């Protein structure tokens, strides 16, 4: 790898951060600093000028998604990637909007994580497979999560379906014809690429659309 690339690792789970840092060091990177929130990140970036910042998506303190632009301003050459166990669509949307250089998932093989970082360092954003499959790309439009492709009515139908309503009940509740409800149901399932009722409910719970 030549001269070791430097990393600032931001993760509030100390045991996880320590283990991950050791693996990065063994892979030839140099972990310049470990932080448990984005609170002191900009100062650390200004001081260290790291090649990479790895940010968890859910931590106490300042919003990690809002930190991306400030990191880029403080050190334009630094690549910023999110590094998380979560791949919720709402996180994907915020990561896309933030201008981050990628989204890594903690569950993928470590050699893939290393390759993803190296790809980002080479100027090509890297999205792990779990994150990438949640992104909808339409020619001429910016990429967004699958959830963001739903119309307000489709999102409303999704919430009710996930709570166990059938098409007849939903049609009466919304004052729509069964045919219209079925059309919305078809479109939202096609956009989300989710076809079983159980998976639809799990999706709605995970995305915070209904209570668990």
pLDDT at 98: 93
Q: What percent of the chain has pLDDT over 70?
A: 97
Give residues with Cβ within 8 angstroms of 115, minimum separation 6. 126
Beta bridge partners of 79: 52
Q: What is the pLDDT of residue 122?
A: 95
pLDDT digits (tens, 9 = 90+) for 10-52: 999 888 889 999 999 999 999 999 999 999 999 999 999 999 9
Please give the average per-residue pLDDT across 59-73, as a whole number: 92
pLDDT at 138: 60
Q: For 83, how many CA atoms within 13 A lie in the half-sphere containing its CB? A: 26
Question: What value does the mean pLDDT of the chain take?
Answer: 89
84 beta partners:
105
Which of 52, 62, 42 is closest to 83 using CA atoms?
Answer: 52
| The architecture CATH gives domain 150-206 | Orthogonal Bundle (1.10)
Does 1 have pLDDT greater than 60?
no
- Model confidence, pTM: 0.75
pLDDT, residue 209, reads: 83
- Higher pLDDT among residues 149 and 80, named by residue: 80
Every domain of the chain and the residues it spans: 6-136, 150-206
Architecture of domain 6-136: 3-Layer(aba) Sandwich (3.40)
* Cα–Cα nearest to 88, from 210, 203, 211, 212: 203
Report, as an integer, the average pLDDT of 122-137: 87
What is the distance between the alpha carbons of residues 129 and 30, in angstroms, rounded to a whole number? 26
More confident residue, 9 or 209: 9
């Amino acid at each position: 790898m030549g001269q070791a690339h430097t990393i600032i690792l931001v993760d509030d789970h100390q045991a996880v951060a320590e283990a991950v840092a050791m693996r990065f060091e063994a892979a030839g990177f140099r972990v310049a600093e470990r932080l448990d929130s984005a609170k002191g990140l900009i100062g650390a970036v200004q001081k260290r000028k790291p090649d990479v910042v790895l940010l968890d998506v859910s931590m106490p303190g300042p919003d990690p998604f809002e930190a991306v632009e400030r990191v880029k301003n403080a050190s334009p050459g630094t690549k910023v990637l999110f590094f998380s166990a979560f791949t919720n669509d709402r996180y994907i949307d915020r990561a896309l909007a933030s201008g981050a250089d990628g989204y890594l998932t903690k569950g993928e093989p470590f050699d893939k994580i290393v390759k993803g970082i190296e790809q980002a360092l080479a100027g090509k954003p890297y999205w792990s497979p779990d994150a990438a499959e949640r992104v909808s790309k339409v020619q001429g439009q910016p990429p967004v999560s699958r959830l963001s492709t739903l119309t307000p009515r489709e999102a409303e139908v999704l919430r009710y379906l996930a709570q166990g309503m059938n098409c007849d009940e939903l049609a009466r509740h919304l004052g729509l014809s069964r045919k219209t409800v079925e059309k919305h149901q078809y479109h939202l399932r096609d956009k989300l690429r989710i076809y079983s009722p159980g998976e639809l409910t799990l999706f709605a719970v995970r995305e915070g659309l209904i209570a668990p």
